[in-house]
A and B are shown apart, each in its own frame.
Chain A
Amino acid sequence: MPKSRPFERHTDRYDAWFEANDAAYRSEVASLERLVPHPGEGLEIGVGTARFAAPLGIAVGIDPAVEMLARARRRGVDVARGVAEDLPFRDGSFDTALVVTTICFVDDIPQTLSEARRVLRPDGSLVIGFIDRDSPVGQMYQETQSENPFYREAVFVSTDELVDALEAAGFSEFEFVQTIYRWPGELDEQDRIEEGHGEGSFVAIEASP
């Protein structure tokens, strides 16, 4: 829970990252769009200011940081304040659950995945987008995290670790896309998006509940 505090205090700085790193942001949105072209009834867990939910057509978002939620509402997303480990949504409410650059901030990954699976319909899909700890950007974030108010308390994961956690939670049928092959600030246009993982710093996984 304390991990959400920086997001209450630095909402402007959070949103400013997306302005300053527009090409990286667009690469991330495009890679997620490839996995969820039609989200149906969608939920973003850790919606923040709806930088991902809004362009991807996800209608509902949840986040513990209330300052961020005010902005998400202005971007047209229906919001609730809450945490990933104890979702206030009924079983089988959603076709898509999206979790973007959030998995490193939750207190309990197994509980988060179990709750995501509970709120999904049997034919729904979970999509997790994250910076792979074993990638160049992941390594840099990990080395400099003490200097960054957002990442100070983050626990970064590798793709293999996350797949293990997803399997343990009952997910299967994994699909991967990757993007961001340079430093985010050095990109001046949208980066390429490829299947698989292991090269791009941003990885998105789609899994069936």
Chain B
Amino acid sequence: MKESMMDILCCPMDKADLELEVDHEDEDEIVSGTLTCTECGEAYPIEEGVPNMLPPDMRDDVPA
């Protein structure tokens, strides 16, 4: 994902701001990392360039 996505992304549950931690970057794309909610503390992984913003209770329900 592009870092500019941070301007519009928020926590899907409480809509609070997210904090970005980048693990791996490739040119202007964040390939892996974590988005952590500044309010509830829930961590949303960025995997293969896609932020996984599924509600936490649905994350295990879906085959990757």
Contacts and interface: CB of A to CB of B under 8 A. Distances in A.
Interface of A: 1-2, 4-5, 8, 60, 62, 64, 66, 69-70, 73, 78-83, 86-91, 93-94
A90 B14 CA distance: 10
Interface string B1-20: 11001001111110100000
Contacts of A87: 12
Contact of A82 (B2, B54, B63, B64): B54
Q: How large is the interface on B (under 10, 10 to 19, 20 to 34, 35 or more residues)?
A: 20 to 34
Contacts of A83: 12, 54-55, 58
A170 B55 CA distance: 25
A1 B49 CA distance: 22
Contacts, number: 70
B26 interface: no
B50 A66 contact: yes
Interface of A, helix, strand, loop or mixed by DSSP: mixed
Contact of B64 (A66, A73, A78, A80): A66
21 contacts: A1-B62, A4-B62, A8-B62, A8-B63, A64-B62, A69-B50, A70-B50, A73-B50, A78-B1, A79-B50, A80-B1, A80-B51, A81-B52, A81-B53, A81-B54, A82-B55, A83-B54, A86-B13, A87-B12, A88-B9, A88-B51
B48 interface: yes
Nearest to B51: A80
B27 interface: no
B61 interface: yes
Nearest to A65: B62
Contact of A90 (B8, B61, B63, B64): B8
Interface string B23-64: 000000000000000000000100011111111001001111
Nearest to A89: B8
B15 A90 contact: yes
Contacts of A64: 54, 58, 62
A81 B50 contact: yes
Contacts of B5: 60, 78, 80
